[in-house]
Chains A and B, each alone.
Chain A
Amino acid sequence: MKGTTWLALLAAAILSACAQSTPEQQTLNDAAAALGGRDRILAVKTLIIEGGGSNGNLGQDVRPEATSQTFTVSDYKRAIDVAAGRARVEQTRTPNFTYFQGQQPQKQVFGIDGDVGYNVAADGTATRVANAVANDRRAEIDHHPLTIVRAALDPAAKLSNPRTHDGQSVVDITTANGLKFTLAIDSTTKLPTLVVSMTDNTNLGDVAIETSFADYQDVNGLRLPTRLTTRTDKYQTAEIRVAKQTVDGQVGDLAAPAAAASAAPIAGPPPANVTVQEVAKGIWHLAGQSHHSVLVEFSDHLTLIETPQNDTRALAVIAKAKELRPNKPLTQVVNSHHHFDHSGGIRAAVSEGLTIIAQSACAPFYKEAVTRAHTIAPDALAKNPKPLKLETVDDEMVLKDNTMTVNLFHISGSPHADTLLMAYFPKERILVEADVFNPGAAVTPFAPNLMENIKKHNLQIDRIVPLHATIAPYSDLVKAVAPKSTN
């Protein structure tokens, strides 16, 4: 063989070796080819998705495990400036269940521009959202086959951990901006089937947000899905059916509105402001922000009603209780119901060694909640692990000693939640409740059921001490449930 032939063979061998992809690169290359090719994908500047579908009601359904409550989503439009890292979603959502704000459709506008996440209210007012929410929205840009593969094709992106799972090729991706994803592609079609990213949820801890893709169609030389289904942990939170999608169309100005862009970053929940109002001897309303608590003094211990929202609020309320009566131990917390805004402080209460009292249907959820991993944003319980002490109420529990009596009743049949407890103070003729009657609210859809429960137990009430809004006379509830004049 002549020398030139050897050289040609050697060159071919080197080129072949260079061209051989690693398994993770092969997965990405397959996906890119299936979607329309690397060059076509990298040439895309904008994507507009329009359609409709549904949103779930994460953490706010009637029972912890339920997923029956949904919002119908219409006029959905998601515009993405792929290169600039900007996106905006506009949609109208209409509740398919009894909603505390009423049944009317709600227009929603929310977006992300770099690190700035924002919401635009119906009156046009833009507000910056917390950094954690903004991070989720940054990740959400890449919860689409086109954007995640495009991001993975960036030379600064890192691919790792190639594997197969359920007949799919799977690879982990760290994008150039440091976000982490897992991409799965169908072993036959090579089209992306799902993207997963991890985030922190106050109640659930480390959760996977998974968007799956189906029903691909041809769009301007690309293959794009027309059904996108998103799950947060085990709960479906969105399904979008795409009616129209436009590649490199006019997306308009996706920059964050000035009011949001100029606002300071929001690192976490706002500082807690706990105000104190003595409602009766041994009973204090701990308010100050949107979610309230009630402190109850017994002869040898204290009981809190509600540790809401998150660690910040819950720990502040617990501290205020200890400050008000430093010589008595705070031993237990009554939880009004499982909704995330009312149970977000349960883990903090457990970390303080408190016994949780909750309606029986909450038990499996809280048992799981205290064991879940919170590694992304370690909370009070992750830093100070304690076992759950839980007492459950089927229908009625009595907290009683020689100085104080509190009856806890299950509010049965409420369309708001199956896990609601109300607290009745027979001597003081006070009722404490959450969500089912917010004094002063424009609509009170759960008040008639509350009244049924009050009558069922023959409660004699002078004042409503709500866990939202301000203390009101019982007559306000009576008026709220009275038949409205049609004249």
Chain B
Amino acid sequence: MRALLVSLLLVAVVHAQKRPEIRVSPARVKAGDPVILTGTGFTPNRSVMSHLRRPDASEYNPLRLRTDERGEFSHKIDTVMMDAGTFELWAEDEASKAVSNRTLFRVE
């Protein structure tokens, strides 16, 4: 019984520490087409700081986005003003301080 409880606790801890995840779709766009950023695994009903890095490595001012009751968010990125190249995205859960994976999309 004790072993089962420990196992469950370990699973819970591992789950709780699971890094939040972001995705972009599509990963390659023509300038002007939107890119949809989605995030999962963040603290529900709290805020996320979304970071976007340009191809020249400079960073846009971060946007603060709100998560829903499932800890998810979605944000449309307007690429009209973006230069061609590869952009890097990541997001920080402001409640847990957990930082998501980094993902890329390319503007052509």
Q: How many A residues face the partner with a CB closer than 8 A?
A: 19
**In contact, B64 and A397 (Cβ under 8 angstroms):** yes
Q: Which of A394, A397, A399 contacts B75 (CB 8 A)?
A: A394
Residue B49 is within 8 A (CB to CB) of chain A in the complex: yes
Q: Which of B61, B66, B75 contacts A391 (CB 8 A)?
A: B61
CB distance from B33 to the nearest CB of A (A): 15
Q: How far is the CA of A395 from the CA of B65 in the complex (A)?
A: 8
Question: What's the Cα separation between A390 and B61 when bound, in Å?
Answer: 11
Closest to A360 in B: B78
Is A25 an interface position by the 8 A CB rule?
no
Do most interface residues of chain A lie in helix, strand or loop, or is the interface mixed?
strand
Distance A340 CA – B22 CA, assembled complex (angstroms): 38
Residue of A with least CB distance to B80 = A367
Any B CB within 8 A of the CB of A325: no
B65 touches A367 (CB 8 A): no
Interface residue count for B (Cβ, 8 Å)?
A: 12
Distance in Å: Cβ of A374 to nearest Cβ of chain B:
21
**A395 with B64: CB separation less than 8 A:** yes
Contact B64 A396 (CB under 8 A): yes
Does the CB pair B64–A398 fall under 8 Å?
A: yes
Distance of A310 from chain B, by nearest CB (Å): 24
Number of A-B contacts (CB under 8 A): 36
Do residues A397 and B81 form an inter-chain contact, with CB atoms below 8 A?
A: no
Cα separation A407 to B63 with both chains bound (whole Å): 10
| Contact mask for chain B residues 63-83; partner A; CB cutoff 8 A; 1 contact, 0 none | 111100000000100101100
Could you say which residues of chain B place their CB within 8 Å of the CB of A209?
A: none
Chain B residue with Cβ nearest A400: B62
Which residues A355-395 have CB closer than 8 A to chain B? 357, 360, 363, 367, 388-395
CB distance from B37 to the nearest CB of A (A): 12
CA distance A393 to B63 in the complex (A): 7
Residue ID in chain B nearest A332 by CB atoms: B61
Of the candidates B61, B78, B81, the one whose C-beta lies within 8 Å of that of A388 is B81
Q: How far is the CA of A389 from the CA of B81 in the complex (A)?
A: 7
The listed residue with most B CB atoms (<10 A of its CB), out of A390, A393, A396, is A396
In the docked arrangement, what's the CA distance between A398 and B49, Å? 8
Residues of A within 8 A of B63 (CB): 393-398
With both beta carbons as reference points, the residue of chain B lying nearest to A363 in the complex is identified as: B78
Interchain nearest-CB distance for B75 vs A (Å)? 7
Complex Cα spacing A398 to B75, Å? 16
Which residues on A sit within 8 Å (CB–CB) of B78? 360, 363, 392
| Known contacts A367-B80, A395-B64, A398-B64; 20 further A-B pairs (Cβ under 8 A) | A332-B61, A363-B78, A367-B81, A389-B81, A391-B61, A393-B63, A394-B63, A394-B75, A395-B63, A395-B65, A395-B66, A396-B63, A396-B64, A396-B65, A397-B62, A398-B49, A398-B61, A398-B62, A398-B63, A407-B64
A interface with B by C-beta (< 8 Å) = 332, 357, 360, 363, 367, 388-400, 407
14 A-B pairs whose Cβ atoms sit less than 8 Å apart in the complex: A332-B61, A357-B61, A360-B78, A363-B80, A367-B81, A390-B81, A391-B60, A395-B65, A395-B66, A396-B63, A396-B65, A398-B49, A398-B61, A398-B62
